[in-house]
Structure 1
């Protein structure tokens, strides 16, 4: 017998340990089983489980459990990413706390030994936390992006792309993070709007004939100016094009050039050009053959290319000094306050500098073309489809990808330099030396590139390198391309696009057949979660309080939202109650002798009520199957909730109580067998979303009646495949009529404030002969559940009775003696009017184009949701008022 309640704290660890120890997470070895594979987006080795991970991990587990039960060779391959910048940052901070130790003083090898030591002790915590969530990954195949096998794949990919001309080394502007001392990609730059100043400075013409005024938000970079640009059609400056100006402070003579980049409508229309410190200026510099003078060092301090007085100054101290000097020279022509976008490192939080340096790049534009074609031709499908546009827009405007990082933790670039600067790119130093020997005709000393690869370069190989590539392994042959990638929309350009590019280039196939983009998790009010705001929902705390199943169902149910989901503690608690409801229903079934019957088949049921629940189970199984197959997770959860809570627990359990306690033995036995069958099917359908509760219920009911065909874990049982021939339309209509009569009657009573103690009769006014027979047969049950004195058949609706129509039948409740009809009319009218005012207010707000365009998306969406809820409530009360007016007229 089941305990009174399910205790997730004791059951979940026990069940998970049993699953993992049994090897049930590994794909079946049956060669005839259809492969189905998912690779886990590898969380950072520094990470701990947050609510976004919980959402993404839950959806992956729902899908893999579903496909496993469908008999497929289901592989969910887990692992972690070495997370170059994040991990190095953690260990550097740790060293600083231990004794103010700088990694540069330690040296590369000693520092890396410390990182590996940290990884062994503290890294990978998140994979253990995923187990608490119920993640049924094949942990025996767990990978790490710095594993030797994976590292071999990274070296192979780099060398292959280099030798095909798709990786090259170039001196270009990059985003430079002065705190981490490394280049970062465009995607790792966060644009923040800040308050700033626009300074207007005069640059004297070299011939002494006047001056030209430029405006800038970054005065310190003028030390590296190599030109002033004006628009070729700007009449104000046409006579100055080709002339020279004297760059103040530096006293360098620079030209005035004509270039369409200069906007006549902005500032003075003349712009200073600093090719080594601005991406747009860099392009202008290339067009006009301008010198590129870098005036900053790696710490964003002024270097030796600037006047002596500025050497070693921090960039912001230099800004202040430049402004003061120009003001002293009488060259400051004005200032104005501005709000402008300033780039920051997404991890360090410091202002990023455009920095001219030698880096390694991938020719992403060439790699993008096959990846664009693959999506356009449907080789890889995005779900929901609108995210396809995000992907294509990014790919069609893709820039060279900077893949070198000035870090120590990561995949060191497999490139060696000869004494004359010749580069030798090979997978091993031995091969590089052999290449150098062939080049020089003798042995020459080589030095390996100090840089490591961008973490996203290695993680772009994840779907195939985890399966053994570049070796032709059994796993690669069986599980690649993978079937489904589930990830967040924020890393479509970071990761999804790059996996498609690398997969097609290195394997000739797309890395996954579909991409499901899950939503971003926000707090209940729609704000982005952050520790500083105190609005973070900790998934581990929620699991401890409500159990993993409750959190999983919450996230699954809400995943149908287009972009944002807003879980709350109350929602998690509510979905825990669904599990409790099913537990109680199962316990009720046990107490009433419901058990499996040997040889039982649901098509043998004869009672309309039992044939109805069998049909409802068939409908539910089909709907859940279709939804999960299409990654419509929210829809599957909605169907399950309705069936378990409303159809099975609220209606079927209530409606069978008279039969279970009645004297008809045949009816009782049939009902018991049907109930046991429905429960078994329900456990299976709910299992992917609520694996712990359902596995426990499966085990605890294993000895009820005849043995099941499947004796093992529920997670390895066969998914229900139910014939549509089990659906009985006549039974559906009959039981549907009874349920509607009760539920609609309850609504009438509630809307009109009819006291619960009142017992009016239920009048059947107009109905077909079949409906009359059904109502008559179930009259005692209807009377009990609707709290009426009797079910009576009449020819007309009497005065003072509220009528309602269900399935073409007209029913009525005489309520005049229990409520004051006029007072109820006034109350309803007042509530309808109040809701109308609120709906009108919200409608006007949404009709305001300025509000829709300028307000945060979450605020606009919340307003739409409030309007829909208000209009629905108003419509319901209007219907009640109309019924009441009919009585009073």
Structure 2
């Protein structure tokens, strides 16, 4: 049945009288989200529906919100993830669980410090002008005034979080957790301080974790340089010529016969006068370039490892601003100024063997300021991840934590099984300061939260702060009061589900797994995991599948959608695209379609109320129901079961599509229309009860995804307190009884017959509301005789009357035989004009068929044409043939004049 775009058939319906009582509804004519959403949400909060009770005897269900940055605002990725989490929590709450959805924010060390430093720069000052203590106070002031905007936006979206338990990664309790776990890891030898190569941002002047580095294919240059002269010369290629000033060796593969005679010798490093050794190392790929690589241990992670293995010294030739510090003519130049200057100097000496420009290669950029990162040897604090990562891998392998979709577990294992030690110190002032003190005689003391730091002359605390991911790695248990034994931990840990994007599977998920398994072992190995299920969704892309970015201008602001279409439409659109592990292409017309779906639901419920549909009386016994009523109840029971099954495997897109098509196609477009006929018959009260029950159930099923409109409609329909605390539908024995295959088959035949009559009417040019006289007969129709009133009403057919003259007929094959439909089209159609139009269309289709057959029969064309072109021509031929058959049938069925 064709579906109206906005459910207009139910608009502006008059009140009717049922059993002597005129039906009314308090629902306004249209659903306007802006008029209702904020008030509905505040009522939920004021009622305490989202506040979890740690002393409850209900089964627990818990999710901790992936903490957004305090500097952040809601984007489509957030909106998707929050929709998923809220849907999970709302369903479990309706199922009788004690639900904790715990919100909070991350202090976002680099991002927040950058924001405040930019403010200071606008004032002509720097953080150093303020000093550390005053600068940190300034950041707290900024947070109080501007931070947390995203939390208000979460309310707009309808997030049912427990606001009474909101946490911040820098609050007192979480700071205590950070200090506690640092001390434990340090005492266990899992935190250490050492010089290693790190990602360094010369703009932010801090170390970066891998997650804080964005890689892109940038244009650069590949320069081949000859080191040494004569037969002992060796050529190396590099994209970073400036780092040659810090070379302390050249490496070749030990099995590369080209360089076997040079291994163990020395070669002069151009421009410096230094001699450096040629060493053998299996890391070198003899097939890449010349098979020889320059080794700069202080400015490249692979070179650093070669240097360690081969005893090569590390020579730092840049400062923290990436300015050259090596003595000589290039000292004081920025790295990007030094690069062409060094190449020019080498060219002048005749040492440039080859130059390739442009040369595309992967370059890391600071995710905060887009500055090209500089690998740099630095003294930093590290976590020895090997034993922690093994435990994190084992917990997924043995099923204590399950990854959804399962195929993404391989990515997780690829990460945890090959994890490098993690640098956790940052050269910032905003963050958790490292709890280590240094003494005047080289002493090092790590201080726990209940210990007094050493004092006296010469003692000072380490100036660095911890990586933001260190504190957010504790999030599942630090937010519930750890290291104290709290009621929240006892009730809600481990959390039930972690929902997040697959893009941070390696970085955040793995860190939480490592820390949870380490810190919570005292709760037993089974309880140590931070979450039982990890649901990974994909990234949001535009309608063409491209990644959203400001530079492309294709970013969609969820607030714009909520302002235009409402929160429910925004959420439902995202849910219908949320296939586990898959990226989602998003277009605005889908949000408009979701809004139309809400309108359809609104108008159908309003229609039901005005026609006396109710939940006050029970659905009649199955023996008293019509076949149409049994059909919709049977379908409803199946939908309830399927929705439950899909929820358990996080198949949100399938749930959304299932509910969309059941509500629009089956409930609104068929059952409601068939119910209209039954409202005037002896089974009217039973049909009203069935319609009320079906809408009640549908609104409950849709509530996790569309909480606002379903709340408004359900309260109007049932006079209940709130859908938030209503019970979740369950398939029951009654549903099994309603699943009548005979009734379902009979209704399917009714639908088929009506659809075919409508199609024929459209082919004949009849207007949708135009009534025509018709007779219905045949064995197939006789089995549907009880549904004749409905068939005539929905197909716009009247009784034949005394002057009936059949001018057109169709046969429809049904389960019990053929149904014959004869129609009197006299006066209903301009036969002459319609015949001319059809004959014109037939000629065009015949011409298309002849042309496509000609091309497909041309062997020379077939030999040269690409396969995709031939496929398109074949498709055109098939379409033309089908059009000829269809139009010919219509012409044959038309009266001659």
- Asked if these proteins are the same fold (TM beyond 0.5), I'd say yes
Residue equivalent to 2:738: 727
Given the alignment, which residue of 764, 768, 789 partners 1:780? Answer: 789
Pick which of 752-761 and 178-187 moved more: 752-761
Residue equivalent to 2:813: 805
Pick which of 121-130 and 783-792 moved more: 783-792
- Name the SS for the 2:533 alignment partner: strand
- Name the SS for the 2:510 alignment partner: helix
User: Are the equivalent residues in 2 in contact too, given 1:602–1:614 (CA < 8 A)?
Assistant: no
Distance 1:777 1:3 in 2: 37
Residue equivalent to 2:113: 88
User: Are the equivalent residues in 1 in contact too, given 2:772–2:823 (CA < 8 A)?
Assistant: no
Given the alignment, which residue of 103, 113, 125 partners 2:149? Answer: 125
Aligned residue runs from structure 1 range 672-691, under 5 A: 672-691=688-707
- Name the SS for the 2:721 alignment partner: coil
Given the alignment, which residue of 219, 222, 225 partners 2:241? Answer: 219
Pick which of 357-366 and 560-569 moved more: 560-569
1:100-131, Cα deviation, whole Å (9 max, x unpaired) = 21112211111101100000001001011000
Pick which of 472-481 and 503-512 moved more: 503-512
Given the alignment, which residue of 90, 114, 126 partners 1:102? Answer: 126
Q: 1:602 to 1:184 in 2, by over 3 A?
A: farther
Distance 1:88 1:339 in 2: 33
Distance 1:762 1:874 in 2: 38
Distance 2:43 2:689 in 1: 30
Q: 1:808 to 1:425 in 2, by over 3 A?
A: farther
> Do residues 141 (structure 1) and 165 (structure 2) align?
yes
TM-score, normalised on structure 2? 0.87
Distance 1:177 1:642 in 2: 52
Aligned residue runs from structure 1 range 219-258, under 5 A: 219-258=241-280
> Do residues 559 (structure 1) and 568 (structure 2) align?
no
TM-score, normalised on structure 1? 0.87
Distance 1:408 1:835 in 2: 73
1:145-195, Cα deviation, whole Å (9 max, x unpaired) = 011101111111111112112211111111111111111122322222122
Aligned residue runs from structure 1 range 240-389, under 5 A: 240-303=262-325, 306-337=326-357, 338-389=359-410
CA shift for structure 1 position 486: 0.8
Q: 1:387 to 1:55 in 2, by over 3 A?
A: same
Given the alignment, which residue of 425, 434, 443 partners 1:404? Answer: 425
Residue equivalent to 2:558: 539
Q: How many residues align?
A: 835
> Do residues 47 (structure 1) and 72 (structure 2) align?
yes
CA shift for structure 1 position 629: 3.0
1:606-629, Cα deviation, whole Å (9 max, x unpaired) = 222222222222222222222223
- Name the SS for the 1:310 alignment partner: coil
Q: 1:814 to 1:362 in 2, by over 3 A?
A: farther
1:546-580, Cα deviation, whole Å (9 max, x unpaired) = 11111111111111275221222211111111111
Residue equivalent to 2:716: 700
Residue equivalent to 1:469: 482
CA shift for structure 1 position 328: 2.6
Distance 1:873 1:34 in 2: 60
CA shift for structure 1 position 381: 1.1
User: Are the equivalent residues in 1 in contact too, given 2:202–2:371 (CA < 8 A)?
Assistant: yes
> Do residues 742 (structure 1) and 751 (structure 2) align?
no
> Do residues 183 (structure 1) and 192 (structure 2) align?
no
Residue equivalent to 1:478: 491
Distance 2:727 2:220 in 1: 64
User: Are the equivalent residues in 1 in contact too, given 2:640–2:729 (CA < 8 A)?
Assistant: yes
Residue equivalent to 1:168: 192
Pick which of 827-836 and 275-284 moved more: 827-836
Distance 1:371 1:475 in 2: 23
Residue equivalent to 1:507: 520
* Structure 1 runs not aligned, ≥5 long: 435-442, 704-710, 793-797, 839-843, 852-862
- Name the SS for the 1:409 alignment partner: coil
> Do residues 631 (structure 1) and 650 (structure 2) align?
yes
Residue equivalent to 2:545: 526
> Do residues 75 (structure 1) and 95 (structure 2) align?
no
Distance 2:533 2:594 in 1: 29
Distance 1:298 1:595 in 2: 73
Pick which of 723-732 and 268-277 moved more: 723-732
Q: 1:493 to 1:414 in 2, by over 3 A?
A: same
- Name the SS for the 1:566 alignment partner: strand
Distance 2:458 2:631 in 1: 83
Residue equivalent to 1:854: none
Distance 1:143 1:160 in 2: 23
CA shift for structure 1 position 259: 2.4
Residue equivalent to 1:64: 89
Q: 1:684 to 1:659 in 2, by over 3 A?
A: same
Distance 2:483 2:876 in 1: 61
Residue equivalent to 2:437: 416
- Name the SS for the 1:113 alignment partner: helix
Q: 1:209 to 1:592 in 2, by over 3 A?
A: closer
User: Are the equivalent residues in 1 in contact too, given 2:637–2:736 (CA < 8 A)?
Assistant: no
> Do residues 717 (structure 1) and 738 (structure 2) align?
no
CA shift for structure 1 position 261: 3.2
- Higher RCO by CA contacts (8 Å cutoff, separation 6 or greater): 2
Aligned residue runs from structure 1 range 575-586, under 5 A: 575-586=594-605
- Name the SS for the 2:595 alignment partner: helix
User: Are the equivalent residues in 1 in contact too, given 2:192–2:381 (CA < 8 A)?
Assistant: yes
Distance 1:836 1:31 in 2: 75
* Structure 2 runs not aligned, ≥5 long: 1-24, 522-527, 826-830, 856-861
Distance 2:134 2:745 in 1: 77
1:480-532, Cα deviation, whole Å (9 max, x unpaired) = 01111111111101111111111111113111111111121111121212223
- Name the SS for the 1:529 alignment partner: coil
Residue equivalent to 2:31: 6
